[in-house]
């Protein structure tokens, strides 16, 4: 939820202040958050409790989307 909140804020900023620079900045920030989430999940999946949680909650950022 925290990363999804960041993404909503980034996209909102780009919509309020539209420019090519801001769109590139938002896109690169979202890619960086995605990479960070993947690295964190690799580390957290070593814990059996987290592995069980992941089997119940399949969506990373947006329910039923991704």
Q: What is the pLDDT along the chain (66 residues), one digit of tens a residue?
A: 788 889 999 999 999 999 999 999 999 999 999 899 889 989 998 999 988 888 888 777 777 777
Give 22's contacts (C-beta < 8 A, 6+ positions apart): 13, 14
DSSP 47: S
**b/e for 27-56, b at 16 or more Cβ within 10 A?**
eebbeebeeeeeeeeeeeeeeeeeeeeeee
Q: In angstroms, rounded to a whole number, what is the distance separating the alpha carbons of residues 64 and 66? A: 6
Global pTM exceeds 0.85 = no
């Amino acid at each position: 939820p925290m990363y999804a909140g960041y993404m909503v804020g980034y996209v909102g900023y780009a919509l309020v202040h539209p420019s090519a620079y801001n769109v590139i900045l938002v896109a690169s920030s979202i890619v960086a958050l995605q990479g960070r989430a993947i690295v964190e999940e690799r580390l957290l999946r070593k814990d059996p409790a987290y592995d069980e949680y992941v089997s119940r909650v399949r969506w990373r950022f947006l329910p039923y989307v991704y």
